Structure 1
Amino acid sequence: MDKVIMHVDMDAFFASVEVIDNRSLRGKPVIVGGMSERGVVATCSYEARAFGVRSAMPIYMAKAKCPNGIFLPVRYERYKEISNKIFDIFNEITTLIEPLSIDEAYLDLTHVNRDSLYIASFIKNRIKKETGLNISIGLSYNKFLAKLASDWNKPNGLKIIKKSDVPKILFPLSIDKVHGLGKKSVKKLNNIGIFTVEELYKLSVNFLVDLFGKFGPEIYDRIRGIDNREVKILRERKSIGKETTLINDTDDEEDIKPYIKSFASSIANIMKNKNLSGKNITIKIRTASFINHTKSKTLTYYINSEEDIYREACSILEKLKLEEKIRLIGISISSFKEKKIEQLSLF
């Protein structure tokens, strides 16, 4: 029995919530994100995207591209409130839900005794009625194709990709649409003249193994419509981290350490609340020219205290050779284990 997988993705979610809350913004280029010149775009309306504004773009660049844009601060609590209502609707359909973010998820409908297109229409209508928002939905027999389908005709899209459609439906697509191919992999393929899925399809599995190692067979299978990933109800948290853009670019470690101290405190609180310890510490920096660098250290023991996280993060920072000023700093911890709580016998 083939699976029935749905991918749901709210359209320009943060910006759309702002328009719902303030009807005067309808049809205008709304840009939500950090309000300072050093902030970044969280999301923007489709009117703003027409000017070339994109998520993660620096605010100063967004203002240059869209000088008449309406720039608004992030209201996360409001977005979370709306998100909860939307996920409540999903839960009426199935409990097999894998949240990817506040506005995106996979639903496994394999054992739901209803036509999948009927369910998609039901979800769209309920969300529109209860929140005023639009959602794009993709349906297929695996996660890769379902997500591809939801992106197919945004906004407010609905598409189904059947087994009979594959692989020809994928051939015209750019290879950056293939899950698992990041920017470096795409560039590597572009350098050998591979730009479309049809061109990628002609490569042998052995060639892809030589190019991408153990991920080669996954890419080979994926463009042939094979993706065996399950919809996971609980996604394991791989890392806990914090980052921020600095008020001023700097190459002085003493300017950076107060940020690391604050991050260490926040991360330690999260880890203790979740009863976790970790042993891999990573420092992330973004230079003034917007180049990202990371450096990690794996310990021989597990930590979760503010003092230990701060100490280890600073030791990594000291080994970084700062040839350019830093505009963003972040730290994260991973490789977790859960601390087991044992009840001692009175006897």
Structure 2
Amino acid sequence: MKSGSGLKDRLVAQARAEGFVDCRICRPWDVPQVPARLEAFLRAGYHGQMEWMAERTHWRGDPAKLWPEARSVIMLAESYTPEGDPTGILAHPDRGAISVYARNKDYHDLVKKRLKRLARWLIAEAGGEVKVFVDTAPVPEKALGHAAGLGWQGKHTNLVSRDWGNWAFLGSVFSTLELPADDVEVDHCGSCRACLDACPTDAFPAPYQLDARRCISYLTIEHKGPVEEELRGKLGNRIYGCDDCLAACPWNKFAVAASDMRYAARDDLNAPVLAELAALDDAAFRAKFSGSPIKRIGRDRFVRNVLYAIGNSGLTTLVPVAQALTDDPDPTVADAARWAAEQLS
């Protein structure tokens, strides 16, 4: 079903009214480079323990196969730009550094509700069928965002825009309508390598390549069990995710403020006290992180991260905190506690 530019203009206006910072369109088949890149990523083992990335690769590599009836992909960007420098917390070893996106409500819920409202508006205006996705389905969102002209995949592999930097969540609306497509964006990284040089663990084997097994976001969120000792010291006080490569991007001088206040950091998650976090049992952890993306990793993995941060703090006053968990029922937590106590002793 074909639809003209008038509908597209109204769609973009409606998307901005919903709070999205940008809205562009491509076709599901506009990312022919994805299958080969995905295969190379998996063959190198860069996905680590994320076995789900090796599943349903026929969909993950080709959005046209995910829903063959779709004729357009509406790509949306929603800003979550922090108010200050998110790396400032790294200078406070008694506090934990939580990635900007996880300091309040779970973005999956917020973005998906906006996507659904926009999809309903589109159906009411022009008919057709729709499906919405936000980071929970085998959709190559960054590649589609590049194809749609939202931005380009920078050397840190995240999407970057000249209009709003790289602090943005991506969402998509697949539609059976044939909407006018936008031009693909070109790469504007040039010779800059600020994001690559900012990485504490050298997780980029080359520009535009990420070895997740060394990425702090992967290690603190996706990796199960003990983290390799060689990498523990490089985590610093980062206890959930890492923003270093994003924060280093010069294009953030054009960053747009977040439109939803629910992305603003909760007071208790802006610079949380490590000693207090280490004392959380399962019930207290669940209560504290209800409605937060942090809840997904569970108490044991989170406290493991906190103990690595305590071990990296250099603060001997935290030795009793670590020692109190050396006999924790979870063997990974107990291992992290013993390591932290040894580091501080």
Same-fold call, TM cutoff 0.5: no
Structure 1 length-normalised TM: 0.30
TM-score by length of 2: 0.30
Higher relative contact order (CA 8 A, sep 6+): 2
Larger radius of gyration: 1
Greater share of strand: 1
